[in-house]
Structure 1
C-alpha cells in the first residue's frame, strides 16, 4: 500500500525532528516491503509568514487535502505572535479538515523515570481523547471599546450536541474495544451551561455502553488523580481546553515533553489526519542538533496505527524502549549527550533488528 504524506517541518526544531521521522518512514518502506510513502514538503510556518504575511498559501488546505496524512514538526518563532501562528496554521488545519479527535497517549515506557514515584508501566498507561474542533478554541468572540476604561473582551466557548456526541462516542468505542474504563473530565460546578451540557450527553451515551465502566472528575480534581493515582485513568475524554492542559501534565508524568506525541484524526477519512509531536519549536536551541526527536518518531507510530498497521506502530514503540533502556544514545533532555540525528539513527538500528527477529 502506498500513502501520500504532506510534510510540514515548520519552524525551529520542528525541521530537525521531522528529519528523523522522515528517515524512519523511508526505512519502514525498505524493511516491511508492503507499505510505501510518497513525501511532499510544504514550507508553511512562521518563516513563511514573515515573507508572505500568511502562515500558509490561500489554497493551502486544498493542496493538503490531496494527501493521506500530514506530518507536522512544530510552529512558532520569536517574531510572529502565538495567536497568529496557532490560528493561521495548526487550528486552520485541525478545524478545516474536521480533525475532531485529538489522541494523546500518556504511557510510561520501559526505562523512563516518572515524576510519579512507585508506579509501574501498567499504572501509567492512559489515552486522552480530546475534542479538537470546537469548545474553548472555536475562535469567536468580540473586543469592544479598545483603549478605553470600558474595554470589554468576550471569548466564546461553543459546544454543540453534534460535536460533543461524536467525540464522547468515539471515546466509548475505544474503551469498549480495549476493555478499559472511560473517564469524563468536566467542570460543571462552575461552568453551568457548557459543562452541564457535556455531562448530560456523557450520561446519555453511557446508557448505550453498559459494558464500559465510567467515571467523571472535575478538571481540578483530575490533576490530583493523575499525580497520585494515575492507574485510575485508562481512556479519558475531555473538551478542547481541558484536554490540552491535562495532556501537558501527562507528558511530564510520562517522562517529559520530548516524549509526547499527538494525532489529529478525521475518523471518516474525508480529509487527511495530522500527526505531530506536541512540543514547541524551541527557537533557543534550534540549529544546535540537540532536540529530542522521540516524540516526532512516536507520532509516526500513531500514523502507522491510523493506516491500519498497528504492527509497525508497536515495533516503533519497541525500538524507542530499546533505545531508552540501552541508554547510550539518549538526547540531552533525557540525561544523555547524543545529537538529534544520532538518536534517530539508533532508533532506526533498533527497528531493523526488531523486524529481523
Structure 2
C-alpha cells in the first residue's frame, strides 16, 4: 500500500474554493477504498502571501515541494499583483525547476454537456511543450519610454526539448490506440524556430511508423478545432501554441470550468503538478459559484499519474453522471448550483458508483 503525499497550493481567487472540493473527493476515496492512502499538506503561497512577504513563496519552497509525490494547484492571479509576478515567481519556477516539460490537457466532450459546434464525439488530448518555447525569460527592452523604444522577446526552441515532447506524444498515441498525431506549426512565417520544430517532430515520427503524423499551420488548426474537432486524437504543440489551443479546445467542449491539465515530469525525477485550465476568475471569487469539475478532474489525472487509474475512472464517470442528470449545474452550465453543491453531488455519485462496483 502506497501512502501518497500531496502538496496543495490553493492560490488565488476561486482556487481555494475549487481545491477544497477536490480534496474532499480524494478524502472520500481514501475513506471508501482501504488500499488508497493519501495525505495533504497545504501551502498558502499566493498573492496574499506576496503582499505580506514581498515574494510569492519562500526561498526554500522548491526544496519543500520536491519531497512530495505530486502537487495539486488551484489558480493564481490577483489584480493587486502584476500578472508577470504571480506567474514567473510561482508557477514558472515549479514547472521549469521540476522539469515538468509536458503539459497534458484532455479535450473531451463529457456526457451530459451540450456542444454548440458538433454532434460528434470529441475526445483528444493536447500535449504542450511546457519548459521552453515562447515562454522563455529571454530578451529585454531598450530606451523605455522613448519614441525609439525596442522590445525583444526570444523564443527558445531546442532540438532536444522538441524531440522529448514529440516522443511523449507518439508514445501516448501508441499506448492509447490512437492512429494520428497532429503537430501545430507556423514554419512558413517563423522560419527558424518552427522549422527546427518541424524537423525534430518529423524525426521522432519516423520511429513510430504505425502512427500517422500530420502537420497544420496554427491558424488553420485553430479553425479546424471549431469546424471538425472530432477528427483529432493527439495534438502536439509548442508552449504558446499549446496554451492557446487548449483554451480554444476547452471552449469547444463546454468551457474552462470543465477542463483539467497536468504538468508532468515524465521521468519521475520531480513531482508533477495538476491544475485546472481556468484562472483565478476574480469576477466570481468569493461567491461560491465556481465550477469545481476542472479541479476535481485534475485530481483524477493526478491519481492516474500515481498509478490509480481505477479511481481516476471512478471520478470521471461520477462527474459525467452528475452532468447527465442535469439536476445540479453551476452557472457556467446554465444552472444555479453552488461550488459546494456540485462537489457534494459528485461525491454522492462516487459513493454510489463504488458501492455498485463492490456489489453492495
- Deviation, structure 1 residue 235: 0.5
Equivalence for 2:211: 212
Does the CA contact (< 8 Å) of 1:103 and 1:128 recur in 2?
yes
Equivalence for 1:173: 171
- Deviation, structure 1 residue 259: 0.2
What pairs with 1:257-268 in structure 2 (closer than 5 Å)?
A: 257-268=256-267
Q: TM-score, normalised by structure 1?
A: 0.98
Distance 1:76 1:203 in 2: 37
> What SS does the aligned partner of 1:103 have?
strand
Equivalence for 1:81: 82
Equivalence for 1:234: 233
- Deviation, structure 1 residue 179: 2.0
Unpaired stretches in structure 1, ≥5 consecutive residues: none
- Deviation, structure 1 residue 54: 0.7
Q: How many residues are paired up? A: 354
Distance 1:314 1:143 in 2: 48
* Deviation larger for 181-190 or 276-285: 276-285
Q: TM-score, normalised by structure 2?
A: 0.97
- Deviation, structure 1 residue 257: 0.7
CA RMSD between the two structures? 0.8
Distance 1:16 1:229 in 2: 35
Distance 2:243 2:283 in 1: 23
User: Cα deviation per residue 1:81-101 (whole Å; 9 max; x = unaligned)?
Assistant: 111111111111111111000
> What SS does the aligned partner of 1:99 have?
coil
Distance 2:302 2:323 in 1: 21
Are positions 1:156 and 2:157 aligned together? no
Are positions 1:37 and 2:35 aligned together? no
Are positions 1:244 and 2:234 aligned together? no
Are positions 1:308 and 2:307 aligned together? yes
Equivalence for 2:59: 58
Distance 2:136 2:338 in 1: 39
- Deviation, structure 1 residue 203: 1.2
- Deviation, structure 1 residue 231: 2.1
- Deviation, structure 1 residue 28: 1.0
Distance 1:214 1:156 in 2: 28
Does the CA contact (< 8 Å) of 1:179 and 1:212 recur in 2?
no
Are positions 1:284 and 2:280 aligned together? no
Does the CA contact (< 8 Å) of 1:184 and 1:238 recur in 2?
yes
Equivalence for 1:352: 351
Distance 2:290 2:141 in 1: 39
Unpaired stretches in structure 2, ≥5 consecutive residues: none
What pairs with 1:114-133 in structure 2 (closer than 5 Å)?
A: 114-119=115-120, 121=121, 124-133=122-131
Distance 2:259 2:111 in 1: 15
Equivalence for 2:3: 2
* Deviation larger for 44-53 or 128-137: 44-53
Equivalence for 1:134: 132
Distance 1:271 1:95 in 2: 11
